[in-house]
């Protein structure tokens, strides 16, 4: 690299030219790439207004029109007030998704926060070991998790029922008994929730650990000197300080549970009788099994609104936290 010559040859504006070239060199391919992304999103938004199946030939542009007719907002009207099989399934899926998300959230918090606290409170000796083990399920592929729990829930030879029998209880057909339920939610859903929680608690746990580490020790010590016990210190001092993290965790947990797919598809695929069918699963089945792509696109849009709603709430709440 001949530095001297370059310095002499370039006028002062050369720097801007070089910069400009750099930027152009990046943004132009980027724009081309992103226009593909824009096209994809555009197609998604258009698709939901059609009754589209890729098995049919359809019209001239991208197969839209013709035997894949434009139906306007019929898909949406059908979803919320129709009586067809798909519409019923959509509403059931939506309900199940909400049940799943709202059940997972408190359970998750009730597990992860205490564990994080306990881990933070014990000495350094075993902390890393415990933390690694608790974190293992997070690193495991969802398919593996689903298969393992599928085996655990086997009504005859599974370990869960074996443990129940050991304690003298009646074994339950966890994943295929549609009658049994607890607190209005079917056992199959609880079974799936448990498996999901098992895989997921490591995640929030480490976030809480980091947050707890951020609480200054002096504050806690002062409180203890003043006579507070652990519980009071926790409630009055620690919790308020980690509120932003808690909010963040709540929102992230809800977002992932709205979009859960892998573990449910492998474990039950919606069974027994649609009791564990969640929205993402319904979208997948409609799009790729029944070839109702327009309908599936419409469902994706509803899920998208749900997710966006929660994200916006999160942004609002976190912003207020900062303004504090």
Partner 1 sequence: MTTQAVSTNTLTRRAKFKRGSFFESRFFFYLALTLGLIFTLLPFLMMIFSSLKTNTEVLRVPPTFLPDNPTFSNYLTIFNDPRLPLLRFYANSAFVAVFNVTATLFTSALIGYMFAKFEFPGKRILFGWFLTLMMIPSHITMIPSYLILAKLGLINSLWGLVIFSAVDAFGIFMLRQFCETLPNELLDAARIDGASEWQIFIRIVVPQLSAPLATLGILGFMGNWNAYLWPMIVLQKVEVRTLPIILTWYNSTHTGQGALVMAATVLITMPILLVLVYFQRWIVKGFVTTGLK
Partner 2 sequence: MKKIMFVLVIASMLLAACGTGGQVAGGEKVTLRFWTHTNNAFNAGYDALITAYQAEHPNVTISRESFEYDLYLQTLSTAMPAGEEADIIQLFGTWTSQYYERLASVPADVMSVAQAKKLFYSAPIGGFIVNDKLYGFPQEFNCEYGGVLVNKTMFQAAGLAYPPQWKTMDDVVADGIKLVQRDDSGMMSVAGFHFTSADPIAFSFLAGIKQRGGDYWNADQTGFTFNTPQAKEQITWMVNAVQSGIVDPMVFNDATNPVIDAFFTNKAAIGYIGAWAIAEGKTNFPDFADEWDYIYLPPIQGKPVFVADSGWGLTVSPNSKNQDVAWDFIKYVTTDSKNALSWNLASGTIPALPEVAKSSEIATTEPWVAKALDILPDGEYLGNMPDRDLVMYSIIYPRILEAMQGVTSVDEALATIDTEANSTFK
Nearest to 44 by CA among 300, 224, 321: 300
How far is 294 from 71, CA to CA, in rounded Å? 9
Binding residues for partner 2 restricted to 115-174, rule: CB under 8 A:
154-156, 161, 165, 170-171, 173
Binding residues for partner 2 restricted to 245-284, rule: CB under 8 A:
268, 271-274
Q: Which is nearer to partner 1, 83 or 129 (CB)?
A: 129
From partner 2, partner 1, none, interface partner of 183 (C-beta below 5 to 8 A by class)? none
Q: How many helices (H) and strands (E) does the chain have?
A: 15, 2
From partner 2, partner 1, none, interface partner of 225 (C-beta below 5 to 8 A by class)? partner 1
Residue 57 interacting with partner 2 (CB under 8 A): yes
* Three-class secondary structure of residue 324 per DSSP: coil
> At a CB cut-off of 8 Å and minimum separation 6, what does 252 contact?
204
From partner 2, partner 1, none, interface partner of 179 (C-beta below 5 to 8 A by class)? partner 2
Asked if 104 contacts 197 with a C-beta cutoff of 8 angstroms, the reply is yes
According to CB under 8 A, which one of 3, 61, 85, 225 is a site residue for partner 2? Answer: 85
Binding residues for partner 2 restricted to 163-222, rule: CB under 8 A:
165, 170-171, 173, 175-179
Of the ranges 30-38, 97-105, 120-128, 299-307, which one interacts with partner 2 (CB under 8 A)? 30-38
Asked if 188 contacts 275 with a C-beta cutoff of 8 angstroms, the reply is yes
CB of 49 to partner 2, least distance (A): 17
How far is 137 from 141, CA to CA, in rounded Å? 8
Nearest to 241 by CA among 268, 267, 218: 218
> At a CB cut-off of 8 Å and minimum separation 6, what does 173 contact?
155, 180
CB of 157 to partner 2, least distance (A): 10
Residues that bind partner 2 (CB under 8 A): 25-26, 29-30, 32-33, 53-57, 63, 83-85, 154-156, 161, 165, 170-171, 173, 175-179, 268, 271-274, 288-291
């Amino acid at each position: 690299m001949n530095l001297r010559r370059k310095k002499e040859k370039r006028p002062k504006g050369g720097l801007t030219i070089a910069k400009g070239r750099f930027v152009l060199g990046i943004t132009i391919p980027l724009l081309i790439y992103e226009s593909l992304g824009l096209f994809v999103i555009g197609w998604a938004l258009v698709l939901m207004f059609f009754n589209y199946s890729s098995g049919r030939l359809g019209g001239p542009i991208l197969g839209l029109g013709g035997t894949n007719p434009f139906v306007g907002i019929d898909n949406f009207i059908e979803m919320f007030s129709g009586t067809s099989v798909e519409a019923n399934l959509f509403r059931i899926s939506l309900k199940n998704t909400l049940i799943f998300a709202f059940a997972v959230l408190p359970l998750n918090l009730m597990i992860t926060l205490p564990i994080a606290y306990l881990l933070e409170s014990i000495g350094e000796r075993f902390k890393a070991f415990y933390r690694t083990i608790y974190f293992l399920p997070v690193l495991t592929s969802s398919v593996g998790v689903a298969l393992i729990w599928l085996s655990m829930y086997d009504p005859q030879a599974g370990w869960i029922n074996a443990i129940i029998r050991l304690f003298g209880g009646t074994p339950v057909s966890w994943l295929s008994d549609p009658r049994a339920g607890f607190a209005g939610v079917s056992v199959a859903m609880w079974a799936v929730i448990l498996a999901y929680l098992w895989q997921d608690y490591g995640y929030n746990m480490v976030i809480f650990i980091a947050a707890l580490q951020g609480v200054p020790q002096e504050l806690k010590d002062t409180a203890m000197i003043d006579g507070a016990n652990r519980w009071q210190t926790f409630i009055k001092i620690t919790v308020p300080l980690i509120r932003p993290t808690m909010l963040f965790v709540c929102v992230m947990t809800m977002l992932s549970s709205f979009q859960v797919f892998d573990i449910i598809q492998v474990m039950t695929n919606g069974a027994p009788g649609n009791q564990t069918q969640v929205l993402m699963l319904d979208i997948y089945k409609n799009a790729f099994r029944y070839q109702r792509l327009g309908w599936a696109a419409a469902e994706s849009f509803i899920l998208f609104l749900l997710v966006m709603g929660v994200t916006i709430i999160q942004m609002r709440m976190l912003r207020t936290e900062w303004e504090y």
